[in-house]
């Protein structure tokens, strides 16, 4: 009996030992690269096969989490959410049983909490997201102390360090009290250090690093040139990696290069191996809209609204459809799409909030200003300027249109590199629009701050960043305030 008991003990010890493994092998890496290229269906099949071969490898729980996160984030399906979201907590409990003497222990727990937090934000569970964000931060912070040479930690701890560092100044004391230490420069440097690493862990999360870093630079350093230089000088495979293609398409669309955005979006490889995401229709619709190819834009936007099961950018899409109808002199259809806007989607994103605000106001955009905006957003600055060439402020009837007229001229000159004219018209916009609910004056102040900062006039930049922050109750306030506060932090560092 003693021998049997000893044998059972040894067998159970071996099983326990086998269960407690983080084996990031070549097969795991291959599946990770499939997931972070959005080949989610392909990856799920491979995970199922590999789990049969190595049922005790905890790396597969991490891969499952990655796959669920991207599926929830991009498709925003409530039915998927009800099925997949509870799995994050189950996997966290599973990983807690893993070997604590491995750099993958806290790293994996940090990732699971971060995945859970991002998914929670996507579905408006913000308090729960905050709790998981905090757990993720301290998992990565503690892991970086225990295993300073474990380079993948730099990506996620760097990301969270930047996010904490971008919080408003009046909240920093509370964050410090809670043990958070944020710093935009340090955070971004940590992310870049991982991208440039050449050690044994250099590829473990490289796809995500190449996804995250351009967003950090554009949003927290305010440096578009640095962002696009990075994208254009790194070895991205936009055809086969959909998540990188999505990032680049999104950034090019938002920085006046619809031609490049459409080139990428239309060039991706489309097979059943990839996650089918309706957001491609939204991105293409925006690209065609900014090129004033309205028939193609309408087709893509309607594909998006019919196939997307979530709420993000639905109101914004219906607003663009209503503008297309307006510019085609079809007011009946324009009113139809505005009514669709009012009854569908949510107001989570700034773009959706603005669309709702515009619809509630019951007014329509000035067609001439709208054409100038579309051309400018598409990257056609000369044509946009020609649209407004023979107009003066008194040609526009409402205070909002007069403010927008100055703003459109300012943006066109700014993008064309004529800073003197840009500042002149931005200041005119502030004078005309500071008391209006439209975003023109606030954005004008932000852009003046960016121009002054680029010329190392840091005192003047801070002045206009603060003017931007001081304006209340306008669209895009959260995102503009974040950019202005990041600018102040950068200027105070010099």
Give me the phi and psi of 349, to 5 degrees please. Answer: -85, 155
User: What does the mean pLDDT of the chain come to?
Assistant: 91
Say what the pLDDT of residue 178 is: 62
On whether both 408 and 324 belong to a single domain, the answer is: no
Residue 255 lies inside a defined structural domain of this protein:
no
Say what the pLDDT of residue 345 is: 94
Residue 343 lies inside a defined structural domain of this protein:
yes
Say what the pLDDT of residue 5 is: 43
Domain containing residue 452: 365-494
Q: Is the pLDDT of residue 9 over 60?
A: no
Question: Which H or E element spans position 269?
Answer: none
Q: Is the pLDDT of residue 51 over 70?
A: yes
105: which residues sit within 8 A by CB, 6+ positions away?
A: 22, 95, 98, 99, 143
Say what the pLDDT of residue 169 is: 58
pLDDT digits (tens, 9 = 90+) for 258-294: 999 999 999 999 999 999 999 999 999 999 999 999 9
Token digits for 483? 């950019």
Q: Residue 478's domain is classified under what CATH number? A: 1.25.40.10
Q: Which residue has the tokens 């000035």?
A: 366
Q: Is the pLDDT of residue 11 over 90?
A: no
Q: Is the pLDDT of residue 174 over 70?
A: no
pLDDT digits (tens, 9 = 90+) for 220-231: 888 999 999 999
Give me the phi and psi of 21, to 5 degrees please. Answer: -135, 135
On whether both 488 and 393 belong to a single domain, the answer is: yes
On whether both 376 and 484 belong to a single domain, the answer is: yes
On whether both 357 and 463 belong to a single domain, the answer is: no
Lowest mean pLDDT among 43-52, 165-174, 315-324: 165-174
pLDDT digits (tens, 9 = 90+) for 310-343: 999 999 999 999 999 999 999 999 999 999 999 9
On whether both 353 and 378 belong to a single domain, the answer is: no
Given 303, 337, 361, which residue is the final one in a domain?
Answer: 361
pLDDT digits (tens, 9 = 90+) for 198-222: 999 999 999 999 999 999 999 988 8
The domain tally of the chain equals 2
Q: Which residue has the tokens 């930047």?
A: 162
On whether both 383 and 470 belong to a single domain, the answer is: yes
Residue 9 lies inside a defined structural domain of this protein:
no
Say what the pLDDT of residue 348 is: 87
Q: Is the pLDDT of residue 81 over 50?
A: yes
On whether both 336 and 446 belong to a single domain, the answer is: no
On whether both 427 and 349 belong to a single domain, the answer is: no
On whether both 493 and 416 belong to a single domain, the answer is: yes
Given 329, 361, 393, which residue is the final one in a domain?
Answer: 361
DSSP string spanning 43-95? HHHHHHHHHHH-TTBTHHHHHHHHHHHHHHHHH--HHHHHHHHHHHHHHHHHH
Most confident of 11-20, 150-159, 432-441: 150-159
Give the number of other CB atoms < 10 A from CB of residue 395. Answer: 13
On whether both 351 and 437 belong to a single domain, the answer is: no
Say what the pLDDT of residue 281 is: 97
Task: Give the model's confidence band at 170: pLDDT under 50 very low, under 70 low, under 90 confident, else very high.
Answer: low
Residue 445 lies inside a defined structural domain of this protein:
yes
Residue 373 lies inside a defined structural domain of this protein:
yes
Name which residue leads in pLDDT, 473 or 383.
383
On whether both 450 and 401 belong to a single domain, the answer is: yes
Say what the pLDDT of residue 8 is: 38
Task: Give the model's confidence band at 4: pLDDT under 50 very low, under 70 low, under 90 confident, else very high.
Answer: very low
What's this model's pTM, rounded to 2 decimal places? 0.89
Query: 3-class SS at 493?
Result: helix
State what percent of residues in the chain have pLDDT above 70: 93
Q: Is the pLDDT of residue 20 over 80?
A: no
Residue 274 lies inside a defined structural domain of this protein:
no
Residue 233 lies inside a defined structural domain of this protein:
no
- Asked whether the beta carbons of 189 and 217 are under 8 A apart, the reply is no
Token digits for 124? 């408006």
pLDDT digits (tens, 9 = 90+) for 284-304: 999 999 999 999 999 999 999
Task: Give the model's confidence band at 124: pLDDT under 50 very low, under 70 low, under 90 confident, else very high.
Answer: confident
Say what the pLDDT of residue 350 is: 86
Query: 3-class SS at 350?
Result: helix
Residue 247 lies inside a defined structural domain of this protein:
no
Say what the pLDDT of residue 17 is: 43
Given 361, 395, 419, which residue is the final one in a domain?
Answer: 361
On whether both 383 and 327 belong to a single domain, the answer is: no
């Amino acid at each position: 009996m003693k021998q049997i008991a000893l044998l059972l003990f040894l067998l159970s010890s071996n099983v326990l030992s086998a269960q407690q493994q983080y084996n990031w092998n070549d097969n795991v890496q291959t599946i990770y690269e499939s997931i972070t290229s959005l080949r989610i269906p392909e990856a799920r099949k491979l995970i199922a096969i590999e789990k049969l071969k190595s049922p005790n490898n905890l790396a597969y729980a991490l891969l499952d989490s990655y796959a669920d996160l991207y599926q929830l984030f991009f498709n925003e399906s409530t039915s998927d959410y009800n099925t997949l979201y509870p799995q994050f907590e189950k996997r966290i409990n599973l990983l807690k049983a893993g070997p604590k003497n491995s750099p993958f222990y806290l790293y994996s727990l940090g990732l699971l909490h971060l995945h859970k937090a991002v998914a929670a934000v996507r579905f408006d569970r913000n308090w729960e997201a905050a709790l998981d964000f905090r757990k993720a931060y301290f998992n990565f912070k503690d892991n970086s102390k225990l295993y300073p040479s474990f380079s993948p930690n730099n990506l996620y701890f760097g990301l969270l360090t930047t996010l904490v560092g971008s919080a408003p100044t009046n909240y920093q004391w509370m964050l410090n009290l809670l043990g958070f230490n944020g710093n935009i420069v340090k955070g971004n440097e940590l992310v870049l250090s991982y991208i440039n690493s050449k050690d044994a862990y250099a590829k473990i999360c490289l796809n995500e690093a190449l996804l995250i870093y351009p967003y950090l630079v554009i949003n927290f350093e305010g440096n578009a040139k640095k962002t696009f230089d990075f994208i254009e000088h790194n070895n991205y495979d936009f055809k086969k990696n959909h998540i990188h293609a999505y990032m680049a398409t999104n950034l090019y669309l938002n920085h006046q290069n619809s031609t490049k955005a459409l080139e990428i979006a239309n060039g991706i490889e489309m097979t059943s191996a990839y996650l089918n995401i309706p957001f491609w229709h939204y991105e293409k619709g925006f690209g065609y809209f900014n090129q004033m190819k309205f028939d193609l834009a309408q087709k893509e936007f309607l594909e998006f609204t019919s196939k997307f099961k979530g709420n993000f950018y639905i109101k914004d899409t219906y607003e663009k459809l209503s503008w297309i109808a307006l510019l085609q002199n079809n007011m009946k259809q324009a009113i139809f799409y505005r009514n669709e806007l009012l009854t569908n989607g949510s107001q989570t994103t700034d773009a959706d909030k603005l669309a709702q605000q515009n619809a509630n106001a019951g007014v329509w955009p000035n067609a001439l200003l709208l054409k100038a905006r579309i051309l400018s957003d598409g990257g056609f600055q000369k044509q946009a300027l020609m649209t407004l060439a023979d107009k003066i402020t008194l040609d526009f009837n409402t205070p909002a249109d007069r403010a927008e007229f100055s703003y459109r001229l300012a943006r066109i000159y700014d993008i064309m590199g004529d800073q003197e004219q840009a500042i002149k018209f931005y200041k005119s916009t502030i004078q005309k629009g500071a008391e209006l609910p439209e975003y023109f004056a606030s954005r004008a102040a932000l852009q003046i701050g960016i121009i002054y900062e680029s010329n190392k006039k840091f005192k003047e930049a801070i002045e206009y960043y603060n003017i931007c922050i001081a304006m209340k109750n306008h669209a895009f306030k959260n995102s503009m305030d974040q950019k202005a506060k990041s600018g102040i932090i950068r200027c105070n560092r010099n």
